[in-house]
Each structure stands twice: as structure tokens, then as C-alpha cells.
Structure 1
Amino acid sequence: MLLHVILADDNIQRVRIESLPETVDELKTILKNHLTLEGEMVIQFQDPEFNNEFCNLTDISELPRERLKLKIIMSDYTLDTGSLDTSSGSSGETSGRSKHWPDPFTIPSFSYDIELKLRRRNEAYEKDGSLFAPTNDVKTDILDKVGRAMYDFNAYPTPKQVQDVAKALVEKHPCLKEPGSTQGWYCWKFSLSFKMGNLRQKYRIAGCPELTINRKRSAGQETRKMKKAKRAEINFLPDFPQGRTPNSLEEERITLQDEVKKKKPDCNLIDSLMGRSFALRRQEIVEKEPLVAEVESRWPALFSERQIAAEFTRLVAADLPKSFLSGLDRHLPRLLELYKARERRDTKIHSLLESLDSENSNQNRRSAALLGLPYFMKEDPSNFIKFCEATDSEEAAAVNGVDVGVLIVTEEREPAALPRNIADVAVILEGRIVLRKLRDLPTGFAVLMGILYSLNIDYPKGLKYTFEVIQKVIMDIGGGTCSARAHGLRNKLLQGTI
């Protein structure tokens, strides 16, 4: 089998293999051996379901069986030497974290001498239950190694994540259990929490962007809100690629801005420039918190379906349309069953299901599930979902005063709860349309999620549970911790109880 592999714009190679392996990890190993690559990699393939645009490969069965064209993104983020290594990968993309917090967490290997000590102490524990009281230097080495491994995934791990790591540590090395402790890991949890604080301080002093932005205020100065990842972003504020400066990246931004203005812009060049300028763009968006209009003026290429999906992948390491639509389809039948059980008590849900009865296509079922979700979560979407006829005056009136929303342009003077004749779907931010001509309502919702991540915009306050369910339950991003209301819905979806 012949593979067409893109490593960079100027580095495209042919790789011949006997047959496709059974897993993505095996394919990565094969490509690393053939192309002499080292480090973490993300494999993308041309997805025929999305006009052959590149999507992250998560399952080998997703690959077409003929004419395979793959794109490789190398992305390393290592802290083994105690300094921040932000060397860029061969694809030209900004380096950064490429994986979410693992479940279960894998405890790293320690230095040779410590591994020997732990092995012997674990054997003694198996024989007679004797515990190991590590010396200060051994404990420091263990905490340092585990803390750095945690930092590779998240600079600000949640208490639950720290607890899980402490449990994993004593499960792998039971000799480290604490005498007199029921769980055996209680003190390790606090030690790891302190270690993470020390590491953050160390890297903050070294100049790590995602930490220096949260430096403490001096006495008498106003304390500003914490600017850190809150929605499972793994590259919330990445460092600049090695050898790049704000000035050099600003030059690329200007080149990018000029390319977008051309009648026939080079899409591949735009993709490359957007990837390389990611760190500069995030710095501006997170630190300065500009208006959407200002971002659109400086980064016009970002405001397209293609680039929003790419930016979302950089931030979250997930495919935007796939994670949204596949997650929605997975829960769709059960979600509509839950709506059905409540329709007698909620006239809005009743109207949606009544409209769905007349045209029960999968696209309408998706739309009904999304439109009904706020009502099911007991929230009011009246200033979020907007309907209007296809006239300039109607559109202007509909978007006026809407901070975050989706506009549905119909050919009906009085649209039904589930409109049939949709002329356009658009995204509203700060009282103006920022992206339109989206294919359908589910695509509009997916693109809106991507924009909110890309521009670091908070979810609408009146719909916090609706968006939490979309992110953590439907898209399965950062779902380890949920509010009681979102967790209740997830249990009903998974357990099959109304």
C-alpha cells in the first residue's frame, strides 16, 4: 500500500507499507520508522464526509481503503530537564500539548536507583505488608518526576485529578502507602498539590506564558481574574515556537492578512501561517481580551469554518465537527425520549416534537434536540436563538443586543418551533453577525462552540447548563467534573432511566 504523507508544505513523501495496521499507534510507529521521526505525532487524514478536509485520525477504521493521503503534525511538550521545551514540529505548527489528561494516569518511571529501591520494597510489601518510609531526597525525586508528568497534561490539575494521581502512585508502588491511613494516598495527594504549586512558580519565573499571565498582584493593586484554561483547553496559552519572536510572528500575521485579501488566496499557505501564528494570536486574545471586531480586523482568516475547526483542534486536540455531530447522534435517540417524557409539562418542547412528527429526518431530529436542550435544562434561550425573515431590517432587529447567539433566517413570516424553510444560519457575537451561510442548525451550533473557544468567550450566563451539556456530555470534552444538573442528564442518557 502506498501512502502520500505531508510533513510540511515543502516536505511531502511517499511511504510504501505492506498493509494497514490494526491500530493508530501501530501506524504511528511505522511512519516514525520509515520517516525517521521522533516525539509525539498527530495523524490527519482526508475525510470524504467533510469535503476531504483533514481530520484527526482516532480510529484506523476511519481511513479510506484507497489513495491514502495523510498529514503528520509533530508536537512535543517536554519538561524533563526542568526547562520549557517549545521546539516546533516539522509541520510548522506551533508546539504544545497534544493529549488530554489520561484516564487512568500512568505513573512515570523514576531514576534507576529509586526504581531498584521501590522494586525491593514492593516485594517486601507483598510478603509481609511492610511499608517504605522514603527519605527526603527519594520523596523529592518521586514528587518532582510525577509533578512534571502531570504538568505535561495540565498546569492546573483539578483536585480530583491530583487525587487520581496519588491513588495511581500507591497502586503501582504499594510500599508507598501511608501507615495508619485508610486510603493510603491521602498525604501524597497534598504533597502533589504543593509540588504543582512549586513547579508553577518555577516555570512562572522562567517566563512560561500560561503562568506569568496569572502572577499575583502587589499590595494595593486590584486583583484580576485568573486567565487559565477552564474548558479543558490543553493549549490555552502556548509559548512561541523556538527561534520565533513577537516581531517575526507579526510579520507572518501581516503576510496572512494580505493573503486573505487576494481574489484567489492560497489555502495551504493560510493553513500554515495560521498554525505558526497560533501563539501570537492566543497571546493577544487571552491577555488583551479585544472586541470581536478587533480580532476580525487583525485575523480575518480565523473567521471561516475551516480555520475555526483548525483552531479548535489546536486548543483542545479534538475534531470540532466530528466530536459535535457524532456525540449528538450518539445521544440523540435517548435525548428525544427524555423530551417526550416531559412534553406535557413544557409547551416549548411539545411544539418542537409536534413539528418533528411532520418531518422526522435525522437533520430535523438533530435540530430539535439542540433547540429543546435549553428548555430541558430549565433555561431561557429567547435571547440566544433568534429567528427572522431574509431582509436586512429583520436581521438587524434580530441581532441587536445579542451578545452570543445563533440566527436562523427563514422564508416563513411566523416560523414553526422547528423551521422547515431555512434560508441561512449565522453566528451572532457582540450584536453583529460574524459568520453566516452555514449549512444547517447543527453546523451553526458546532461552529459557535468553535468560535467561543477560539476567541476565549464565556458561555452565555443564562445558558450555562445548556453549554456545559454540549461541551462535557455531547462533545465529551472535560467531562470529568460536571454540575449536578448536567451530571443528572448524563446519567439519564447513559443509564436509560427517565
Structure 2
Amino acid sequence: MARVCTEALPDTVDELKLMLMTRLNLEGEGEMIIQFQDEEFRGECCNLNNMQDLHGEKIKLKVIMKAPPSIPQSDDKPDTASLDTSCWSSGETSGRSKPWPNPFPIPTFSYDIELKLSQGNEHYQKDGSLLPLSSHTDIKIDLLDKVGRAMYEYNAYPTQKQIEEVAKALIEKHPCLKEPGSKEGFYCWKFSLSLMLGNLRQKYRQITRKMKKERRCKTNFLPDFPQGRTSNGLEEDRESLLDEVKKKKPDYYPINSLMGQTFVLRRKEIVGNEPLVTEIQSRWPALFLERQIGAEFTRLVSADLLKSFLSGLDRYLPRLINLYEAQKQRKTNLGHDAKLQNLLPTDLRCLCLRGLPVILADDSSAFFRTCSDVTDKDSYSETSVGILCLGQENTQLNPSRVGIILEGSVVMDELLNLPQAFCVLFGLIYALHLDYPKCMKNTFNFIQQVMLKLGKSELVPKIQTLKNQLEA
């Protein structure tokens, strides 16, 4: 029997396994199977496959370690772990990339800090005086951050004994950091390092979530730097790209080449830093050219954006029109401002894109915005993601000029029709790593999963129902 304390459970079963392996000292002993008492089966032990199956503050788990196939099978080693979700800070797991060193090597700090530590150690040797960290909080934060990162490289979940060893090694190397009134001299350092590791796990968890293969099936979601290239070299390419775009008559051949070369740098900025759209527009203006949006989409998902979008839409045109006609017979609105009989133009693609939100129970009123002049910002300033129809109200189904709204600003306003704008906006959402607008979530997921056949095959009920109707 063993008890493990935790304030919050890890997000995945794999993270839970790693945490238990570390806390129970089970590394290297084979495959782990975790079982829990399932109330639906009268408390019988069932294998844990989903963290949502765990409930309550105190959870009893059964841990079974299976020997690897290459080792002669002996009896499984069952153990029971009791999880108390009240005293441990959860975070991201990184696994152990190298064995824990003994003694632990305290890293070298920045020049300024090393200088202050050296002076502090000299004073300590002379008269036993300590470095007053209460007046140097910035030094303490830097020390904890550097040491915490060094520990994380070996183990994201070190034991209390290992943390104590690091705290002890820190004051042995820099005795001026000893704590006044503490017998060991490192009592508070130990707890400070534990908190720092918790913060690092949380930080790396967020980064790792972004680095995981994206749910929209981005095959090149966050690539590594090309061999022999660095961020500094790619930054020089970005500046050359910026100079080319600013020319009165830019040459699109070098723009295409430089956009491809700087793809890695751009993705690390957009995904890692999550800058505002205006910042991206300032640093990467070429990314808002229609041709480059399509090229970026191809880099991300290895598919032709315009061809995939239009062919996917045209594939379902006849059946969608039939569904809209059925809606017309039931006198159901196709939008908030007009009925179906008023929205039957020759452009069937526009009709289908207008009708999809209605069929899928989305609210398109906050997505499709209309104004006569792009300078009329009051018409769209509160729209996070949307399409701006420029012109008179009676032409909003297929206006002669269409714009794209992102974060309350118009980023493009010279698109010729609604299908083109919808396609370009879909590509921008991928390129800029944006969420689908909540009011049109079903519509965009339908375009992604059904029309373009990207991402997971499981569909929510509304989308699955529409797909069944279209393919019946």
C-alpha cells in the first residue's frame, strides 16, 4: 500500500502513470496498468483508460507492473496506491531523459548573479554573513528558475529526497545562501524548489499541448528548424521578405521562396507566443496575401485549399439545395433577415454557405457583418472572426466586395465573392492558429471534417445527421 498526495489529477492516463512511477519508484520495471473501482460494476476493478472515470478527493487505485516480453514472466507485481487530491501541484510530464546525478551539479548563473554570489561567499568565509535575499528577490527568482530547469531536464517529478539533495548542493556550493535560523540551512530552499518545479510543469504542459498534433490534422503543425539554420538566420530572411513585400512592385517569386524558408520561424512565433493578429500582420504582411494563405495551408496540411474547399462544397450542392427547399416548404428562415424564397440566387455556392449555419443551428448574425464602407468600424469592431459584406443590404447574399474580420479589424477587403472569402478565412484560421468562431463552430467543423475531410472522423450529432442526409 502507498499513498500519493496531489492537488489535481494529471490530464491523461499516461501522465498519471509517469507520476506514479516516479512517486512509487517504479521506473524501469515494465508496463504499468492502472485499475480503479468502477461503481457501475459494483466496485470491481477495471482498467483505467479515461481520467474522467476518477471522482472524489480520495481515490483507490490498483497498480500492476508487467515485465517486458524479453524478460521471463514472473508474477505480476500488484500494488495499491491511494490518491489524495489535496496536497500536490499538478503539471506536465517530460519523462526522464538521463539518470538523476549524484551529487547534483548546480548550474552556472548569469554573470551578474555569479559575481554577487562570489562576493557573498567571500563575506561568508570572513565573518559568516549571509546574502540578504529579502532585499534581492530578483536573484532568488533567477536562482530557483535556473536550478528548477536543470532538475526538470532529469525528472519532471523528482522525489522529496532528490529535491532535498539539490537544495543541499546549492548551499554547499554557495554557502552565503544558507537560511538564518535553519539547522540544515536549506529547509525553505527545498520547498521553494518544489513550487518552482510545479510552475515549470504547468508552463511546459501548455507548451506541450500546443506541440501535440493539432486536432485539425495539421501534418506540419510545429516543425523543427532545418539542419544548419538558426532563428537568427531565419530572422534575416524575414527582414528580406518584409523589404520585398513593401516594394511598389513586389516580385512574387522571391516572396514565395522566402515564405517557404521562414515557415518554421513563423510557426514558432504564432503557436508559441500567440501574438495579436495586428502583430502578425506587421511582422508577416505576406501571410495576408491570398496566394500565400493557400501556400501556408498546403505547408500545414499538405492539401490545396481552394481546390479542396470548392470541390467539397460542390460535392454536396444538390443535396444541400434540396434540404433548403424542404426548409422553405416548412417556412423556416434561412437567416435572421430574410426567408429562403428571398435567397435563391443563381450562385448556388453562396446559397449553400449562407444556409449551412441555419441547418446546423449556428447563429450567423454575429459572423456575417454588413456595411457600406470599410471605414465604418462600428459595424464590426466587436467581431472576433467574421466576414464583412460591403455594399447594400439587398446584395449581402453575394456582395460584389467582401472583407475578412479578425479581432475587430478588417485584414483583407478586396475579395470578390462570398465563397472566396469563406475559403480564405478558413485558411487564415489555420495559418494564424485561431479558434473557430463560437457562433459558427458547427459550420466550420462541417467544412473541416466533411467537406475537406481533415481531422478526426468522429462527428458531433448535428454534423453527423447532416452528413447522413447529404449522403443518403
> When the two structures are superposed, what TM-score results if normalisation uses the length of structure 1?
0.53
Contact 2:389 2:403 in 1 (8 A): yes
Correspondent of 2:426 among 449, 471, 476: 449
State yes or no: 1:385 paired with 2:364: no
Report the alpha carbon displacement of residue 349 of structure 1 after superposing the two structures with TM. Answer: 5.3
Partner of 2:387, secondary structure, is strand
- Show the counterpart of 2:444: 467
Matched, 1:491 2:468: yes
Aligned amino acid, residue 278 of structure 2: A
Other-structure match for 1:376 = 359
Cα distance, 1:388 vs. partner?
1.4
Contact kept? 2:400, 2:416, Cα under 8 Å? no
Query: Is 1:355 matched up with 2:342?
Result: yes
Is contact 1:366–1:442 with CA below 8 Å preserved after alignment? yes
Q: Structure 1 unaligned runs (5+)?
A: 1-138, 141-157, 160-199, 206-211
Query: With structure 2 as the length reference, what TM-score do the two structures score?
Result: 0.56
Work out the CA distance in 1 between the residues paired with 2:389 and 2:247.
30
Q: Does the 8 A contact of 1:387 with 1:409 survive in 2?
A: yes
* Distance of aligned partners of 1:201 and 1:264 in 2 relative to their CA distance in 1, 3 Å threshold: farther
> SS at 2:400's partner residue?
strand
Larger Rg: 2
Q: Secondary structure at the match of 1:341?
A: helix
Deviation string 1:307-350 (CA, Å, 9 cap, x unpaired) is 00000000011101000001100101101111222232522359
| Structure 2 match to 1:476 | 453
Match of 1:270 in 2: 255
Q: Tell me, yes or no, if structure 1 residue 313 matches structure 2 residue 292.
A: no
Distance 1:220 1:268, change over 3 A: closer
Equivalent residue runs for 1:264-343 within 5 Å = 264-343=249-328
Q: Which amino acid letter does the alignment assign opposite residue 480 of structure 1?
A: S
Q: CA deviation at 1:387?
A: 1.2
Query: Against the structure 1 CA distance between its residues 218 and 381, is the aligned structure 2 distance closer, same or farther, given a 3 Å change threshold?
Result: farther
2 CA distance for matches of 1:475 and 1:303? 22
The yes-or-no answer on 1:399 pairing with 2:386 is: no
Q: What SS does structure 1 have at the residue aligned with 2:271? A: helix
Q: Tell me which residue corresponds to 1:59.
A: none
Give the Cα separation in 2 of the matches to 1:203 and 1:336: 57
Contact 1:339 1:349 in 2 (8 A): no
Q: Equivalent of 1:436, from 404, 407, 413?
A: 413
Separation in structure 2 between the aligned mates of residue 491 and residue 279 of structure 1, nearest angstrom: 39
Quick one: distance in 2 between partners of 1:388 and 1:282?
A: 34
Distance of 1:398 and 1:280 partners within structure 2: 35
Q: Take 2:96 and 2:264, find their aligned partners in 1: how far apart are those partners?
A: 21
Equivalent runs, 1:25-424 vs 2, <5 Å: 218-220=197-199, 222=202, 225=206, 226-227=209-210, 228=212, 229-343=214-328, 344-348=330-334, 351=338, 353-357=340-344, 359-360=345-346, 364-390=347-373, 392-393=375-376, 396-410=377-391, 412=392, 414-415=393-394, 418-419=397-398, 422-424=399-401
CA-to-partner distance for each residue in 1:21-70, whole Å, 9 max, x for gaps?
A: xxxxxxxxxxxxxxxxxxxxxxxxxxxxxxxxxxxxxxxxxxxxxxxxxx
**2:386 partner letter:** G
Q: Which amino acid aligns with 2:316?
A: H
Give 4+ residue runs of structure 1 displaced > 3 Å after superposition. Answer: 200-205, 215-218, 220-225, 349-353
Q: Which runs of 5+ in 2 are unaligned?
A: 1-29, 32-48, 51-93, 100-152, 158-195
Q: Secondary structure at the match of 1:415?
A: helix
**Whole-Å Cα distance in 2 between the matches of residues 275 and 484 of structure 1?**
39
Q: Distance in 1 between matches of 2:360 and 2:98?
A: 40
Superposition CA RMSD, Å:
3.0
What is the count of residue pairs matched by the alignment? 284
Change over 3 Å in CA distance of 1:391–1:433 after alignment to 2 = closer
Deviations 1:350-406 (A, max 9, x none): 94532344x42xxx210011011111111111110011123633xx12221000000
CA shift for structure 1 position 255: 0.5
Partner of 2:403, secondary structure, is strand
Instruction: State the SS of the aligned residue for 1:436.
Output: strand
For residues 321 and 403 of structure 2, the distance between their equivalents in structure 1, rounded to whole angstroms, comes to: 25
